[in-house]
Amino acid sequence: MADNESRMEKTVNSLKEEYKSIRTGRASAAIFDKVRVDYYGTPTPLNQVGNISIPEARTIVISPFDKSIMGDIEKAIQKAELGLNPNNDGKVIRIAIPPLTADRRKELVKQAKATAENYRTTIRNIRRDGNEDLKKQQKAGELTEDQLKTETEKLQKLTDKYIEEINGIYEAKEKEIME
């Protein structure tokens, strides 16, 4: 039971991480988490080659530790297809976050909904695996019929709890996107 719960908890945390990369109308350093800069031949996370700051709600400033890789950082941001246009002034890279159009917002909500459904399916698969383990234990004589029923109900309650948590996370993200 503890194993199933920890797997479900990891699934929910993974969803939270994935949602950080979905761009909303506000500036967030998390949208660059998956951006890799070619730093002397090695793909390096953007936050390891420069300082990412947010001076205003719709502006991101990246200050590279090594000024010689400014062009590489620009290329990496453009290659990541985030829909952002970096401006290099020789010292820092400024990125203005454009407001989202209504169509783009709807598209992002659809993407978030599909992602949430995938994670709900993962939770259900964990429940299915747990139920199969319980049935195996019962066949092996480790559980009685009543214990099997009780454990199955506990697993279902756990599943419902985590699916409810995923729904809450999705609703919050949908609200954030539609702002």
CB 152 within 8 A of CB 134: yes
pLDDT of residue 56: 83
With CA atoms as reference, report the closest residue to 49 among 72, 81, 79, 21.
72
Amino acid identity for residue 176 in this structure? E
Distance set, CA 177 to CA 12, 89, 102, 113 (Å): 19, 30, 10, 12
Give 100-176's CATH code, choosing from 1.10.287.3510, 2.40.110.10, 3.40.50.1370, 1.10.132.20.
Answer: 1.10.132.20
Going residue by residue through the chain, which has 179 residues, state the pLDDT in tens, using 9 for 90 and above. 789 999 999 999 999 888 877 766 677 777 788 889 888 888 888 888 988 888 887 888 999 988 888 888 888 888 887 778 888 888 899 988 877 788 888 888 998 999 999 999 999 999 999 999 999 999 998 889 999 999 999 999 999 999 999 999 999 999 888 87
pTM beyond 0.75, yes or no? no
The DSSP string of 59-86 is EEEEEESSGGGHHHHHHHHHHTT-S--E
pLDDT of residue 6: 93
CB 16 within 8 A of CB 169: yes
| Domain 31-94 coded CATH 3.30.1360.40 | yes
pLDDT of residue 81: 73
The two tokens of residue 153 are 């109900």
| Domain segments of the chain as ranges | 31-94, 100-176
Cα 123 → chain centroid = 16
Q: Do domains 31-94 and 100-176 have the same CATH topology?
A: no
Residues 176, 105: Cα–Cα separation, whole Å: 10
